[in-house]
């Protein structure tokens, strides 16, 4: 019998792109993993945390920690939300009675590609894709979680034509509420990212955070460019 994990689906996936959650489950099950879904889960509190509303964020952190079982790994299709649990909760729950429970959970909470490649040691899921793709590494996944190679290993194993993205580690400009508070700056950063995507000639730009992909995909659509912005899990699961 394979391992069992808990799926942390995240707000944006649940509300705006549930297909990503479904794809994540399909990939995990293909890897021999049983998936549980704690139905009481809600937002991790990151938006409130980022604007300084720590009382509200702390209430959501407490609920999150109480909802997930510290004896089982937690897997999410979002580097940003995993980074919040691993790092933001340290500040929110310092001195709280649940701090030890959070520590146990944080040590076992992973982004999807990280869990597949770094924990299970599975980069090749036996999925084959065609076409030309590129990959945008989201800031929190790359910088806060240190996940650099896992997504690319999954992409390369699918045998599609992979073209590395110029200035790949440059932010796309979304940054959650940053895009709302600093619209012009965010837009300029998005323009730079879209030019980089165009340089690759890719038909699809992949990523591991729907927030960034929503931002990039919206920019591509407004310009009438025939490039899809897809979560890595969706792209892989399309071939199943």
> Per residue, what are the HEC states of the chain?
CCCEEEECCCHHHHHHCHHHHHHHHHHHHHCCCEEECCCCCCCCCHHHHHCCCHHHHHHHHHHHHHHCCCCCCEEECCHHHHHHHHHHHHHHCCCCCCHHHHHHHHCCEEEHHHHHHHHCCCCCCCCCCCCEEEECCCHHHHHHCCCCCHHHHHHHHCCCEECCCCCCCCCCCCCCCHHHHCHHHHHHHHHHHHHHHHHHCCCEEEECCHHHHHHHHHHHHHCCCCCEEEEHHHHHHCCC
How much is the pLDDT for 140?
96
What sign does the dihedral 5-24-220-11 (CA atoms) show?
negative
How much is the pLDDT for 220?
97
Contact in structure between 8 and 81 (CB atoms under 8 Å): yes
- Tens-digit pLDDT profile for residues 188-222: 999 999 999 999 999 999 999 999 999 999 999 99
How much is the pLDDT for 206?
98
- Tens-digit pLDDT profile for residues 127-185: 999 999 999 999 999 999 999 999 999 999 999 999 999 999 999 998 877 877 778 89
How much is the pLDDT for 69?
98
Cα(130)–Cα(114) distance, integer angstroms: 23
Sketch out the chain's domains with CATH numbers.
Answer: 4-119 (no CATH), 132-237 (3.40.50)
Cα(70)–Cα(209) distance, integer angstroms: 24
Q: Copy the structure tokens of residue 112.
A: 């999807």
Cα(54)–Cα(80) distance, integer angstroms: 18
- Tens-digit pLDDT profile for residues 31-89: 999 999 999 999 999 999 999 999 999 999 999 999 999 999 999 999 999 999 999 99
Distance between alpha carbon 147 and the CA centroid of its chain, in Å?
11
Phi, psi dihedral angles at 21 (to 5 degrees): -65, -40
Indicate the burial class of 121 (C-beta count within 10 angstroms; 0-12, 13-18, 19 or more).
exposed
How much is the pLDDT for 58?
98
> Mean per-residue pLDDT for 220-233?
97
How much is the pLDDT for 90?
98
> Mean per-residue pLDDT for 80-101?
98
How much is the pLDDT for 1?
72
């Amino acid at each position: 019998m394979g391992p069992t994990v808990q799926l942390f689906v995240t707000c944006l996936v649940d509300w705006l792109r549930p297909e990503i959650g479904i794809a994540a489950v399909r990939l995990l099950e293909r890897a021999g993993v049983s998936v549980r879904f704690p139905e009481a889960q809600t937002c991790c509190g990151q938006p409130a945390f980022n604007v300084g509303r720590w009382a509200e964020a702390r209430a959501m952190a407490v609920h999150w920690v109480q909802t997930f079982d510290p004896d089982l790994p937690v897997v999410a299709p979002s580097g940003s939300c995993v980074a919040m649990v691993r790092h933001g909760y340290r500040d929110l729950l310092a001195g709280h009675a649940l701090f030890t429970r959070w520590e146990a959970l944080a040590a076992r909470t992973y982004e999807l590609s990280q869990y597949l490649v770094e924990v299970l040691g599975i980069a090749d899921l036996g999925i084959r894709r065609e076409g030309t793709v590129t990959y945008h590494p989201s800031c929190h996944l790359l910088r806060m979680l240190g996940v650099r190679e896992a997504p690319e290993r999954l992409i390369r194993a699918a045998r599609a034509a992979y073209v590395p993205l110029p200035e790949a580690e440059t932010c796309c400009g979304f940054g959650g509420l940053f895009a709302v508070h600093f619209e012009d700056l965010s837009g300029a950063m998005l323009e730079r990212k879209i030019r980089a995507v165009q340089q690759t000639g890719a038909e699809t730009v992949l990523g591991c955070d729907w927030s960034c992909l929503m931002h990039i995909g919206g920019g591509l659509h407004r310009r009438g460019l025939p490039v899809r912005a897809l979560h890595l899990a969706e792209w892989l699961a399309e071939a199943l």
